[in-house]
Amino acid sequence: MIQRVLAVLRCLLKRADWRHSCGGTCAAEEGCVTVKTQLTHSGSHQSRCFWLFHGAYWLGTVAVCELFAAVVPGTAAVTGPAFAVRAAVACGATAGLRMLSLRQDWAQRLGLSRFGVLAGGCTCLAVTLAVSRQHLEPAIGIAPPLTGPGQAAAVLVVMTASLIGWMLSYLTFRVINDHDAARLGALEAQAMADRHELEFLRATMDPHFVCNALTAVMAVKHDPDEVERISQALADYLRFRLRPAAELEPLGRELDAVDDYIAIQDARFGEDLICTVACERQARQLVVPSMLIQPLLENAVKYGADTSPRPLRVDVRVSLRDQMLHIEVANTGQWVRPGSGNGSGLGLRALRKRLQMLYGDAAWVSSRDGHGWVRVEVAVPAVAGRPPFAGSRSRVAARSETVAAASSANGVVAG
């Protein structure tokens, strides 16, 4: 029977581990998709801004030249009504230059940079339009012939100035957009890093626990009912630990897993462990970070077993005070300083890091010892839904909001 139980547990571990891996990946990909969607929206916004700028520039250039021709005598041959035709041709040609400059593979084939593509294209276009004004436009009757080399030079200067003005304006536009794109890319990378870090901190589990739990099963192998009870508690607990967990969950869900954990440890320690859990009824419905109590409880048992006289006492108390949810885990024994013996301090650091990322300064962790007890207390905002991240927002949520805004503008006792 023991062999069947162990086989079932191994299968459960493999399946739960696969689900956990898939779940963690999906959660991270979901965050990535959100930010990439914002980047896609940003690209569409930049494209609309370009076409607005592009059309406004050439319409403004035509309006200025028409005004100049009407005010200054003798300039109609240089600008005049036919200038609108040349401006329309320049508008289409510069749009093509813009597309060519964005295609890095084409620019590399030509051996030119973005500036080289634009500068060379604008120069060739200015010469072409000046020659067209001198020979083609009079031939088809849309403009009078030029009367001398001075007017031909003036046409070349006007077209060159118009195209250089467009090129400088567009390069300025690109510099601003490239800066925004780099900023959005950095935000995307940081948001992904924060999500991966949250997944890692949430998934951290003591590998010795499973070994100790199986040892507890073996200790009661002559009692089939007790084997079944402990095996079921272990299966439920591992299912809770290895499932794709949400960032925030009802506290009652974790308290149910705490009961399973205590049942396993009770079978392991027997009369050497006395563990009590006291929780106010309304606190069970509150939403808290997943795996908030469990690391505290695991370290209380782990380090308490090394430093406490028998029986080891562990008390878990959950209460509501001043719009804050207070969770205290206390155990008999002595404080194990990080870096001394088996105390690494990773548990408290990981818990503080998670709370800082989720709540900012609105949540805190404290620890104290004395009179033969070690106590760790955690306080988080008491909310029935997702925490109101106004003033104490999740860092990951804040980064996602920052990406959206930028786009629219262009757990532990001495452990």
C-alpha torsion 218→223→224→226, nearest 10:
-80
Whether residues 185 and 228 share a domain: the answer is no
Q: What is the residue range of 316's domain? A: 204-409
Whether residues 258 and 183 share a domain: the answer is no
The tokens 């990378």 sit on which residue? 189
The pLDDT of residue 394 is above 90: no
Whether residues 210 and 88 share a domain: the answer is no
Residues 216 and 9: beta-carbon distance below 8 Å: no
- Domain assignment present for 2: no
Strand partners, 314: 275, 331
The pLDDT of residue 277 is above 90: yes
Whether residues 403 and 279 share a domain: the answer is yes
- Domain assignment present for 93: yes
- Domain assignment present for 367: yes
Domain boundary among 161, 196, 231: 196
Domain boundary among 172, 196, 220: 196
Residues 257 and 236: beta-carbon distance below 8 Å: yes
Output the pTM of the full model: 0.49
Between CA 194 and CA 212 the distance in angstroms is 32
pLDDT-above-90 percentage for the chain:
12
Whether residues 263 and 166 share a domain: the answer is no
The pLDDT of residue 376 is above 90: yes
**Count of the separate structural domains present in the chain:** 2
The pLDDT of residue 213 is above 70: yes
Between CA 115 and CA 396 the distance in angstroms is 38
- Check residue 396 and give its pLDDT: 42
Over residues 135-159, the pLDDT tens digits come to 787 787 777 777 777 777 887 888 8
Over residues 324-335, the pLDDT tens digits come to 999 999 999 988
Rounded to an integer, the average pLDDT of 260-283 is 89
Whether residues 191 and 234 share a domain: the answer is no
Cite the beta strand spans of 152-308 per DSSP E: 248-250, 273-279, 287-289
Q: Is 126 exposed, middle or buried (0-12, 13-18, 19+ CB in 10 A)?
A: buried
Over residues 225-250, the pLDDT tens digits come to 888 888 888 888 888 877 776 778 88
Rounded to an integer, the average pLDDT of 22-28 is 39
- Check residue 85 and give its pLDDT: 79
- Check residue 388 and give its pLDDT: 44
- Check residue 341 and give its pLDDT: 58
Give me the half-sphere count of Cα atoms (radius 13 Å) on the Cβ side of residue 392.
14
Q: Of the candidates 297, 367, 315, which has an alpha carbon nearest to the alpha carbon of residue 337?
A: 367
Over residues 167-178, the pLDDT tens digits come to 888 888 888 878
The tokens 């782990």 sit on which residue? 302
Domain boundary among 149, 171, 196: 196
Whether residues 356 and 217 share a domain: the answer is yes
- Domain assignment present for 267: yes
Whether residues 208 and 189 share a domain: the answer is no
The pLDDT of residue 18 is above 70: no
Whether residues 258 and 234 share a domain: the answer is yes
Confidence of residue 15 (pLDDT cuts 50, 70, 90): very low
- Domain assignment present for 398: yes
Whether residues 169 and 269 share a domain: the answer is no
Q: What is the domain-level CATH number for residue 238?
A: 3.30.565.10
- Domain assignment present for 334: yes
Whether residues 361 and 247 share a domain: the answer is yes
Over residues 32-57, the pLDDT tens digits come to 444 445 545 555 667 788 888 888 88
Compute the mean pLDDT over every residue in the chain, rounded to the nearest whole number: 74
**Residue with the larger pLDDT of the pair 21 and 137:** 137
Confidence of residue 199 (pLDDT cuts 50, 70, 90): low
- Check residue 329 and give its pLDDT: 95
Confidence of residue 203 (pLDDT cuts 50, 70, 90): low
- Domain assignment present for 224: yes
Whether residues 89 and 135 share a domain: the answer is yes
- Domain assignment present for 10: no
Residues 394 and 357: beta-carbon distance below 8 Å: yes
Over residues 85-128, the pLDDT tens digits come to 778 888 888 888 888 777 767 666 767 777 788 888 888 888 88
